[in-house]
Structure 1
Amino acid sequence: MEAANQPLLRLRDLSTDIALRRGTVHALDQVNLQVGQGETLGIVGESGSGKTMTVLSIMGLLPTGGHVVGGEILFDGRDLRGLEDKELRRVRGVEMGMVFQDPLTSLNPTLRIGAQVAEPLRVHQGVSKAEARERAIEILRRVGMPRPDKIVDDYPHQLSGGMRQRVVIAMALIRSPRLLIADEPTTALDVTTQRQILELIDDLREEFRMAVILVTHDLGVIAGRADRVAVMYAGRVVETATTAELFRSPRHRYTEALMRALPESAQPDSDGAGRLYSIPGLPPDLSRPLTGCRFAPRCQFATDECRTTDVGLTPDGSGTGHEFACLHPVTGPVTIAAASPSVRTASEVSDPLLTVRDLVKEYDAGGTGVRRTAGRVSAVAGVSFEVGPGETLGIVGESGCGKSTVGRIVAGLEAPTGGRIVLDGADLATLDRGARHRMHRQVQLMFQDSYAAMNPRMRIDSILTEPLEIQQVGDAGARRARVSELLDQVGLPRRALERYPHEFSGGQLQRIGLARSLALSPRLIVADEPVSALDVSVQAQVLNLMRDLQRDLGLSYVFISHDLSVVDYMADRIGVMYLGKLVEVGPAHQVVRAPRHPYTQALLDAVPTPDPGHAPSPDTTIRGELPSALNPPTGCRFRTRCPLAQDICATEPLLQGATHQVACHFPLREEPPAS
């Protein structure tokens, strides 16, 4: 990675306020950053730390009420704050590009892809419609979009998440900007698509010799992609260093806490599986006056001096540009990886709580004209598994593999096309509607986006009471007592009952979502990506809580995620899905540390690692998009993307093995002997 001598962008004492009805939020307070031509700067921190507000200040895209109230934004020596609106729009549209976190909300659903990608050319360069279309096709081809000449005529809803993200990147790059800002560009993507997008940004940075600002809460993404890192907390930069130096020797206690909260850093606990560190408390309210170190209320090393003394960034004396703002800095390296693999062993049971056999789910694909359907989408194709009492089965795979569909069927939100679902000895397919409804009290779903799953007009007491009322559990007094008990179980105060969903943070909303799933005292919870959108520290709190409740209440989980490090921490066993089929099932520690299927190995190699020295092998990169479930490949469905595929792979392999099963004609290793 190349860095220029002179910075392309420099922030000097940047301060930004957000005026709200209840007061003014001091979102940024004297932020100093710089990034050179051809350099990648990573900005990391929790939600509310000021990461996104920093880049929105640079782009002049602050929300309503937002104003830069102090400092300078120097781009190639010019202070953007002094430019007229017309000139600022030209700089923003030509010399800078921005990739937003959610590509679907960044795209106009009523316009075709080609028109949106070409819009900067039409607005800032005045090219013809035909020329703009051709240049849109070319930039889509350069960002790795399959069939770009066809994609330009599609609408955003017709594309996958990874394809939409490529479209947004193409929009940002079509004018060859000198600075690219990527704000959480891979947060909602699975690990293989995430790796493709990050490698694409790296390649384009070198091709265009751009400066890149990469905003993320994922330390693994930062470790593998950035030249330098700035750690932000409560509107300030608290530490900055080269990436290698920061991960080798972090100095600020907040940086140390972020690293300790990673799933890879789990410490052994009573069940031998490890426990995640979570940062106590919450970030400060930036609408109130603050004194001293802003991290002091959450820091176990804080002293009275920390609470009264405002410390600025100071060099560490190494001469490498490593600066930090801490009176009691870390003095040694922080160990990220646990000393030994965590192994959870579920108790052996003769009768599983849940048995799924040959589960099939197909959908009619919409047709055109006289054709009412265009075929059948094979979402789930013959999936079988078991979950024992008190056990966690993790299900992993790329977006579109069918894992969420399996979860929704098990939770009773969708009906299977075929197969059996046996819950506590009763086949749900053979029960009448009333009996099936009562049985599904035993299975509850924990959603990925708890806020979207709640009625924003209902207070939390109504949200938690609703399932009890629907199922006619107890009288009003008993329901109130049950709701209070639920709040105690998930660690929320009773005053939360009087508030509405929008008044809570993401982590608090997930606690409320978990409480709602516990309301009917289920035996099995299907958790569908429950922590994918959370910061690493909040993620640790929710995962620890789920583990504690499993131990205390004897819960079973079907834990669905694309994050293998999280699944490794939570699960007893892991099932790996690809395009509607299970391709590997086994004990979690074996699947993660000794995978047998090439697809599992590729997923593991795609996981961002919080180690700047880690270089994933290009041989294990999954190339291309997931094949269509409308017309899946014959035989092994992974064979069209598998580096080991041969002619025999056109015949379907079956899951084989005793405890560590694999469906592959050429498994990577033999099944380990039973312990």
Structure 2
Amino acid sequence: MEATHQPLLRLRDLSTDIALRRGTVHALDQVNLQVDQGETLGIVGESGSGKTMTVLSIMGLLPHGGSVVGGEILFDGRDLRGLEAQELRRVRGVEMGMVFQDPLTSLNPTMRIGAQVAEPLRVHQGIGKAEARDRAVEILRRVGMPRPDKIVDDYPHQLSGGMRQRVVIAMALIRSPRLLIADEPTTALDVTTQRQILELIDDLREEFKMAVILVTHDLGVIAGRADRVAVMYAGRVVETGTTAELFRSPRHRYTEALMRALPESAAADADGQGRLYSIPGLPPDLSRPLTGCRFAPRCRFATDECRTTDVALTPDGAGSGHEFACLHPVTEPVAITASSAAPRAASGAAEPLLTVRDLVKEYDAGGAGVRKVSGRVSAVAGVSFDVAPGETLGIVGESGCGKSTVGRLVAGLEPSTSGQIIVDGTDVATLGRAARHRMHRQVQLMFQDSYAAMNPRMRIDSILTEPLEIQRVGDAAARRARVSELLDQVGLPRRALERYPHEFSGGQLQRIGLARSLALRPRLIVADEPVSALDVSVQAQVLNLMRDLQRGLGLSYVFISHDLSVVDYMADRIGVMYLGKLVEAGPAHQVVRAPRHPYTQALLDAVPSPHPGHASNAGTAIRGELPSAVNPPTGCRFRTRCPLAQDICATEPPLEGGTHQVACHFPLRQEPPES
């Protein structure tokens, strides 16, 4: 008789409730999962699907009012629900480690890095301060931290986002856990840093022989890193199986909808304009009784039987471990290809709406308060581009490349050091304060974090009316009419006006942010990472809305993002920035499919692909951190990280090449795609 296989972690009928003042949210309902030693399990789904609540239940870190109300959490055969608090604390600190989504809020801003990394050793092992510091330096070195002996004396605010994430990983690994839980570990990181972190987790999994639970809404991350996948919706697992099988042949209609919402899946419509599939409606309210398939209200294939029958996970019959809970499963493969949105022609106007010439922005380094100025930060160094009426220019690059600074300069939020920003024939830099104030009617900014950009004490009607009042547009009646029109344009109900920002989801907040940027009827909107923190289904809704409004209102966009698949879908032309410089610019389909600069190719190679085994999920990514903008490399600023660099690269390369420009002495020779 064969021995019964025992996974490292098994969840049996796990149910979790969150008690609120106005009721109880049934966050998890009979979740069944397992993770073997050395295996990576990916958990994917929309915001609110129960992904994070599952791992918080495992760790015993539920928010106030949360409790596990049913089922078992078996870790190496022991039910964690039955452990005393002290014993659970030891398991959590020694045998399991967790990497949280936001490393900055996970770190104590008043403690040095070394003390925080070494804290588990001192608490659970009682070792001395000096030995703990040495161990902290060693684990930081193993997670690829540059100069770990110096970093241990720094504070969290002194590190970049990628470096902070490495610190959090080091904290989770310093006790060599058997299970590592990573909850959205790369959200809002640029693609190169994201790839470094994911490869680091892969390498450490092999080194420590540990299991990994990877929670994310990014299907590309799951495809390239997980052995098995669990798809969650409304507190339940609706499909699970091996990564290869699930991506090759998804069976649940929700899994299919997530895949169709990817920018890579955009299909060209009748007029040649590709649109992303958008899942209609919203996830259900988990504080109310639910019957039948929870996805049925949003599913285009749902029948009356789906709305009344509670469907359990069922094997697909092939013996592969692929299970799904759907009465009308997918029967055909879901095609995920390169974005098929056709290149969109600009308006062809003789004069561009926006002209940027030789734009420079420098800051004093370390000059706050009485501190001595230690140099100049070269944030933007001689950037030039045009944006035509009705056109979208995408700007991409790593964090710290200067793309957001360019956006803030164009939107008039900061003065430039030198150069020209010409809007509709007028150089904004030469205008007085009052004239620049009026210019805001022409150019508006859409922020990455709409909630942080809104006053939490103001209702939405006041937030949308404020720009009109500041610019003295119309009387009270005209403003009310304009606000109602804005809500209609972004697809929000009138009752939204009476609510506050914290009462909305992330996608709804981005719609409100877009509405506010449209209030003054601008001709140009600078969109700074507008969908980077949204899950794939909400992202599709916001991107489709932005394109619909562009066609209807004749808007121009400067669309800033680190996600090349999103920029490829949105933009007519793309500019690639590196350390303050524009290194490549051209038509979007050419830049993405036939890049000429090695840095652009490195960015494309780092993008996770929603295809298991795809080339972009393997190979070597760009290495190292960005050089200091206080003392950038001479000549080509990318040369210190470029595999093609030679001595000549130490001189300044020109930006040349006609419609497809490249600043490189050794451009990649690739055939341009057919138009």
Same fold (TM over 0.5): yes
The C-alpha deviation readout for 1:65-108, integer Å capped at 9, x for no partner, is 00000000000000000000000000000000000000000000
Alignment check: 8 A CA contact 2:292 2:307 kept: yes
Q: Distance in 2 between matches of 1:273 and 1:237?
A: 35
Q: Does 1:356 align with 2:327?
A: no
Gap change, CA 1:371 and 1:537, over 3 Å in 2: closer
- Is the Cα–Cα contact under 8 Å of residues 342 and 569 in structure 1 kept in the other structure? no
SS in 2 for 1:374: coil
Give the match's secondary structure for 1:576.
Answer: strand
1:479 aligns with 2:473: no
* Alignment partner, residue 233 of structure 1: 233
TM-score w.r.t. structure 2 length? Answer: 0.98
Q: Counterpart of 2:538?
A: 538
d(CA) in 1 for partners of 2:457, 2:97: 37
Aligned residue number for residue 160 of structure 1: 160
Mean CA deviation greater in 514-523 or 434-443:
434-443
Please list the CA deviations of residues 104-155 of structure 1 after superposition, one character each: whole Å capped at 9, or x if unmatched: 0000001000000000000000000000000000000000000000000000
In structure 2, the partner of 1:565 is 565
- C-alpha displacement at 1:417, in angstroms? 0.5
Is 1:344 the counterpart of 2:340 in the alignment? Answer: no
Question: Distance between the aligned counterparts of 1:304 and 1:71, measured in 2?
Answer: 30
Q: Deviating runs (4+, > 4 A) in structure 1? A: 338-341, 367-371, 617-620, 670-675
Confirm whether residue 33 of structure 1 aligns to residue 43 of structure 2: no
How far residue 616 of structure 1 moved from its aligned partner, in angstroms, is 3.4
The 3 A distance-change label for structure 1 pair 439 and 371 is closer
| In 2: Cα distance, 1:217 partner to 1:617 partner | 17
- Whether 1:607 aligns to 2:604 is no
Distance 2:158 2:401 in 1: 17
Q: How far does the alpha carbon of each residue in 1:402-461 deviate from its partner, in whole angstroms, 9 at most, with x for none?
A: 000000010010110010010000011111211121112100000000000001110000
The Cα shift of 1:671 comes to 7.9
On the 8 A contact 2:108/2:156 being kept in 1, the answer is yes
For 2:275 and 2:47, how far apart are their aligned partners in 1? 23
> Take 2:594 and 2:651, find their aligned partners in 1: how far apart are those partners?
25
Comparing 16-25 with 361-370, which one deviates more in the overlay? 361-370
Alpha-carbon distance in structure 2 between the residues aligned to 1:509 and 1:673: 38
Give the corresponding residue for 1:169.
169
Q: Which residue of 2 aligns with 1:411?
A: 411
For structure 1, list consecutive stretches of 5 or more residues without a partner in the other structure: none
Question: Deviations 1:588-610 (Å, cap 9, x if unpaired)?
Answer: 00000000000000000100000
1:273 positional shift: 3.6
Who is 2:263 aligned against?
Answer: 263
Alpha-carbon distance in structure 2 between the residues aligned to 1:368 and 1:341: 47
Which residue in the other structure is 2:75 paired with?
A: 75
TM-score, normalised to structure 1, is 0.98
Q: Which amino acid aligns with 1:39?
A: E
What is the identity, as a one-letter code, of the residue corresponding to 2:296? Answer: A
The residue identity in structure 1 corresponding to 2:430 is: T
Quick check: 1:242–1:322 contact (8 Å CA) kept in 2?
A: yes
Contact 2:572 2:588 (8 Å CA) reproduced: yes
Tell me if structure 1 keeps the 8 A contact 2:26–2:235: yes
How far apart are residue 50 of structure 1 and its match?
Answer: 0.1
Offset at residue 322 of structure 1 (A): 0.5
Within 5 A, what are the aligned runs for 1:118-133? 118-133=118-133
Q: Is the 8 A contact 2:268 2:341 kept in 1?
A: no
Distance 1:292 1:618 in 2: 41
Q: Which residue of 2 aligns with 1:435?
A: 435
The alpha carbon displacement at 1:350 in A equals: 1.3
Q: Which residue of 2 aligns with 1:95?
A: 95
Measure, in 2, the Cα distance between the counterparts of 1:49 and 1:674.
41
* Native 8 Å contact 1:5 1:36 kept in 2: no
Aligned residue number for residue 52 of structure 1: 52
**Distance in 2 of aligned mates of 1:573 and 1:623:** 27
> Residue type matched to 2:315 in 1?
P
Map 1:64-463 → 2, pairs under 5 A = 64-337=64-337, 340=340, 342-366=342-366, 372-463=372-463
Partner secondary structure for residue 268 of structure 2: coil
Q: Which residue of 1 aligns with 2:548?
A: 548
Aligned-partner Cα distance in 1 for 2:171–2:313: 36
1:614-651 alpha-carbon deviations (Å, 9 max, x no partner): 13386651101011101100100000000000000000
Provide the C-alpha distance between the structure 1 equivalents of 2:162 and 2:372, rounded to a whole number of angstroms.
29
Mapped pair 1:525 → 2:562:
no
SS in 1 for 2:557: strand
**C-alpha deviation, 1:5, in angstroms:** 4.9
Q: Distance in 2 between matches of 1:495 and 1:590?
A: 45
Query: Are the equivalent residues in 2 in contact too, given 1:393–1:573 (CA < 8 A)?
Result: yes
Cα pair distance change 1:283/1:522, threshold 3 Å = same
CA RMSD, aligned part only?
1.5
What amino acid is the match of 1:430? T
| Shift of residue 30, structure 1, vs aligned partner | 0.1
Letter in 2 for 1:133: R
Q: Number of matched residues?
A: 672
Percent identity of the aligned residues? Answer: 90
Give distance in 2, aligned partners of 1:124 and 1:419: 57
> What residue identity is the alignment partner of 1:174?
I
CA distance in 1 between partners of 2:671 and 2:376 (Å): 36
Separation in 2 of the partners of 1:674 and 1:247? Answer: 29
